[in-house]
């Protein structure tokens, strides 16, 4: 059964899904994206992801490619046609197709939309979470507007490759003063000695993760204190626990940072219980 993608109004075989060479996403990374998790036949936190898409689009002065309700239908249809019960749905909106020029097109162009979905094996991500991940740190070298979820991800790509080259699974961007910002594709968290969950404030310098927000709701329901404040690599290495959050990794414990084991070097119990509580508390929209 072939995989199916949605490209600018058409459902096509994934292998044949192509965009124009003058798509501004392809030429200039002039576009935004979202990734939602699909778990047990539900799209997780779709509202949060589409609200963030709305913000990303308006920050870049781009319009919606379709009405929001129509986009939701397309997402469900792509999920249905690919028979995804557990996996990911990816959507990308670019400013559209126009002769290459840095400035916005002067003639109105329709934003371009691509939606794909893929199956993932929940046992594989469960095993990864049971093992925990190794993290390295890299100097922060991204632009200031990382709050916009743009497809311009070259620093993130290089950071993740540096992690892979070092035998790790994620890289955390760190400011010159040692402040941990976030991962290449995850938000970064630690649990302090007194059991407080600590993560970088989302008003500046990181992406406001949708999974991050859900974890805050879980924490509130479990009477766990959360502090949005700066923390350093040193503090993280001495923390009781560390973990990352994202739609793709949900909550995944971190067991080492730059080769230094966190606590006893095994996944922490708070990260584990946040992961276990996640599905019950996240917003769930049926895929069909
Ligand atoms: N930070 C960055 C840089 C990311 O790319 C992502 C993943 N989209 C996240 C954080 C986590 O965000 P979310 O929980 O919305 O997936």
Tell me which residues are annotated as active site: 149
Beta-carbon count within 10 A of 15 CB: 9
List the residue whose alpha carbon is closest to atom 3 of ligand 1.
185
pLDDT in tens, 109-166: 999 999 999 999 999 999 999 999 999 999 999 999 999 999 999 999 999 999 999 9
**Strand residues in 154-273 grouped as ranges (E):** 170-174, 180-183, 187-191, 197-199, 226-228, 241-246, 250-257, 260-261
Per-residue confidence (pLDDT) for residue 125, from 0 to 100 = 94
pLDDT in tens, 240-287: 999 999 999 999 999 999 999 999 999 999 999 999 999 999 999 999
pLDDT tier for residue 288 given thresholds of 50, 70 and 90: confident
Domains defined along the chain, listed by start: 4-120 (3.30.470.10), 125-286 (3.20.10.10)
Of the residues 39, 90, 187, which should be mutated to test ligand 1's pocket, given the most ligand atoms within 8 Å of the CB? Answer: 187
Q: What's the gap between Cα 93 and its chain centre?
A: 16
Which tokens is 122 given?
């929940």
Does residue 214's CB lie within 6 angstroms of at least one atom of ligand 1? no
pTM over cut 0.75: yes
Does residue 200's CB lie within 6 angstroms of at least one atom of ligand 1? no
pLDDT tier for residue 174 given thresholds of 50, 70 and 90: very high
Beta-carbon count within 10 A of 73 CB: 12
Q: How far is the CA of 246 from the centre of ligand 1 (A)?
A: 5
Please give the average per-residue pLDDT across 172-194, as a whole number: 98
List the residue whose alpha carbon is closest to atom 5 of ligand 1.
185
């Amino acid at each position: 059964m072939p995989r199916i993608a949605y490209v600018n109004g058409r459902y096509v075989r994934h292998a044949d899904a192509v965009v124009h060479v003058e798509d501004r996403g392809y030429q200039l990374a002039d576009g935004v994206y979202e990734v939602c998790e699909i778990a047990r036949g539900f799209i997780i936190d779709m509202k949060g992801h589409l609200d963030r898409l709305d913000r990303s689009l308006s920050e870049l002065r781009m319009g919606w490619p379709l009405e929001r309700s129509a986009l939701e239908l397309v997402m469900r249809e792509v999920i249905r046609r690919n028979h995804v019960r557990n996996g990911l749905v990816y959507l990308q909106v670019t400013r559209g197709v126009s002769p290459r020029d840095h400035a916005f097109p002067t003639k109105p162009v329709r934003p371009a939309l691509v939606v794909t979905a893929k199956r993932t094996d929940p046992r594989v991500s469960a095993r990864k979470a049971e093992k925990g991940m190794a993290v390295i740190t890299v100097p922060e070298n991204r632009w200031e507007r990382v709050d916009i979820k743009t497809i311009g991800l070259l620093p993130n790509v290089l950071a993740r490759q540096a992690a892979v080259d070092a035998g790790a699974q994620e890289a955390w961007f760190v400011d010159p003063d040692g402040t941990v910002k976030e991962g290449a594709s995850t938000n970064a968290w630690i649990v302090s000695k007194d059991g407080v969950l600590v993560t970088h404030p989302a008003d500046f310098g990181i992406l406001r993760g949708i999974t991050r927000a859900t974890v805050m709701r879980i924490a509130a329901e479990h009477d766990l204190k959360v502090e949005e404040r700066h923390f350093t690599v040193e503090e993280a290495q001495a923390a009781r626990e560390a973990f990352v959050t994202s739609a793709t990794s949900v909550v995944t414990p971190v067991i080492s940072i730059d080769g230094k084991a966190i606590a006893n070097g095994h996944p922490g119990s708070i990260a584990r219980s946040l992961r276990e509580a996640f599905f019950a508390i996240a917003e769930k929209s049926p895929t069909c």
